[in-house]
Structure 1
């Protein structure tokens, strides 16, 4: 993100992009950031509170032209009423095949005559020999959020900084093992989904880096439409289902693994996708985050409903059980499984999830 360094003013924030050798997709937002003022120190609780407030009250800049260049391909797009832009680049000029991450350049000129803003974003194109697509939820799957308790969830989403958040034990090693695959060099695409708003994107990026979780396009957040007059998020019916099916359509016949949790509707959404895309989903890993007997029974019923397919639904209390199944199915290596064991032991010694 092109930072304002606390001074306020127009900012362009592109999110990591993704695509295939045929087309690439990039999203971002142009907004006006409130200044911090001289009384706010660079560190400490006052700065944390100020950063939270600035994220909530950001005002998107509509009808701003954004020029995106990726290799020798380019497109001009315009921001919507909330300041967001979506760019779809047809790759008429191929990108280098010896790398998965490519850099897109952005040039933005706002209407108020401010200095033009230049920024860049990383775009992920899977290698031609990719053998598996991994799509994972974030909330209560990678990072403890507590989505079943709405008020605490909102506190954790908006107030807690990246260093105050906890990853589930073993997650980093498990996702690293999935990324490199059995060969150790797979470079598989891992796409992350969150129910949270785009305003927490920076925090999520920092959280992933701090916890050594493989980065991917964190591109499936949503605009909550929060304001002081409308403090609750807009409804997003079938949000996750629509996004996952779009990815399955984009990546042709690439097999897929889905990872989620038992707290919300991940098992139901994933089982529905298994039925709609026969043969594509090879495993569903569901982290059990509650102890309700009726919820466990419902998930086992979904397991039975897709038993006849090539997909297995695993309800697991920890990352170790998921990793063991992934090793048995050939998704990760034996060394990857051992790394999960070590990671979990270390995380448990450090105190685990808080």
Structure 2
């Protein structure tokens, strides 16, 4: 039995923490430590994990605690009320977990939890697939290969993305520690891969949230639609970080512009900007996004369709969301990438 908590998030009054308890096959002695056979075995182990239902998960954060039970797939979703204040002036905190199930010996784990500081002026909610990292969701076979098989160091971050997210995290003054929450269309099985990818590419860490477990089967080999889940997830974030302004970042390839526009219409004073990375040159798609831009023109939010991270950074700087050092870092990284395409 193993427990994998996912990085948590919350406010000074509530914290959310998710994870999974599962069984995973051991690697045999004949499996080498490196190479294609090891990579294949790791992929198979992640996909073939069996969730441990009805396991008890005790969570402690400072002097606050809660106990939850895993569902039939082994997942737990805990909400912890902060009755005892956490240390002041600190955004990242450590939560400790103890998992017990039947006759199994208890399993302990710990995980980081991001709690926004009271003075935080802005939060960022960003898609991952084809927004931070090239996935190619339009080509489902290649997407599945990249999601499950491709190693973190071989995955491609869009040029300037790391600098843009660093600038948004630090803010106009350079020390804001804003929350950045990432959402993905992928399954929870690739969580570790994305964690490593973010570290390798110096992208600011933050809670990584997935829409749902895919539930892939032979009858339904493709993931279920996630638009409603994504909309509900963003609404949950807005409710948690009460009245905090927000920037939404996504791509033009799927339904991000439509979902984000609906979010703006429901929260016209909360969303300050929508940044959409243009991932294709389809005129019909650009016209559709232009109509969405016109649809929210009466609000304080501007939808920016950008071919690269530079245009997003320039808009963010012009509106006081990032510093001059931040926008220069994005420009420099994009220029370096063009000069050294390898």
Q: TM-score range by the shorter chain?
A: over 0.9
Which residue of the other structure, out of 202, 214, 229, is the alignment partner of 2:204?
214
When the two chains are superposed, the root-mean-square deviation of aligned CA atoms in Å is 1.3
How far off is 1:348 after superposition?
Answer: 2.9
Which residue of the other structure, out of 257, 271, 285, is the alignment partner of 2:275?
285
How far off is 1:228 after superposition?
Answer: 6.1
**Number of the residue aligned with 2:15:** 24
2:51 matches 1:91: no
Which residue of the other structure, out of 24, 27, 30, is the alignment partner of 1:33?
24
2:235 matches 1:238: no
CA contact (8 A) 2:211 2:229 kept: no
The number of equivalent residue pairs is 342
**Number of the residue aligned with 1:4:** none
1:111-190 correspondence to structure 2 within 5 Å: 111=102, 113-190=103-180
Instruction: Work out the CA distance in 2 between the residues paired with 1:238 and 1:350.
Output: 40
Instruction: Work out the CA distance in 1 between the residues paired with 2:139 and 2:11.
Output: 38
Q: Which runs of 5+ in 2 are unaligned?
A: none
Which residue of the other structure, out of 177, 187, 192, is the alignment partner of 2:182?
192
Measured against aligned partners, the alpha-carbon deviations of 1:34-81 in whole angstroms (never above 9, x if no partner) come to 111111111111111111111111100000001100000111110000
2:194 matches 1:204: yes
Instruction: Work out the CA distance in 2 between the residues paired with 1:121 and 1:227.
Output: 31
**Number of the residue aligned with 2:331:** 341
**Number of the residue aligned with 1:5:** none
- Partner of 1:16: helix, strand, or coil? strand
**Number of the residue aligned with 2:44:** 53
- Partner of 1:309: helix, strand, or coil? coil
2:305 matches 1:318: no
How far off is 1:243 after superposition?
Answer: 0.6
CA contact (8 A) 1:17 1:219 kept: no
CA contact (8 A) 2:187 2:210 kept: no
How far off is 1:229 after superposition?
Answer: 7.0
- Partner of 1:238: helix, strand, or coil? helix
**TM-score normalised to structure 2 length:** 0.97
Instruction: Work out the CA distance in 1 between the residues paired with 2:117 and 2:28.
Output: 46
Instruction: Work out the CA distance in 2 between the residues paired with 1:117 and 1:69.
Output: 14
How far off is 1:221 after superposition?
Answer: 4.0
Instruction: Work out the CA distance in 1 between the residues paired with 2:138 and 2:189.
Output: 21
**Comparing 234-243 with 281-290, which one deviates more in the overlay?**
234-243
Instruction: Work out the CA distance in 1 between the residues paired with 2:170 and 2:288.
Output: 33
How far off is 1:230 after superposition?
Answer: 5.5
Instruction: Work out the CA distance in 2 between the residues paired with 1:226 and 1:60.
Output: 15
**Number of the residue aligned with 1:3:** none
Q: Which runs of 5+ in 1 are unaligned?
A: 1-9
How far off is 1:249 after superposition?
Answer: 1.1
How far off is 1:343 after superposition?
Answer: 1.4
**Number of the residue aligned with 1:224:** 214
**Number of the residue aligned with 1:108:** 99
Measured against aligned partners, the alpha-carbon deviations of 1:112-167 in whole angstroms (never above 9, x if no partner) come to x3332110011100110000010000000000000111111111111101111000
Instruction: Work out the CA distance in 2 between the residues paired with 1:70 and 1:340.
Output: 36
- Partner of 1:283: helix, strand, or coil? strand
How far off is 1:220 after superposition?
Answer: 3.1
2:56 matches 1:65: yes
**TM-score normalised to structure 1 length:** 0.94
CA contact (8 A) 1:220 1:243 kept: no
Instruction: Work out the CA distance in 2 between the residues paired with 1:270 and 1:277.
Output: 10
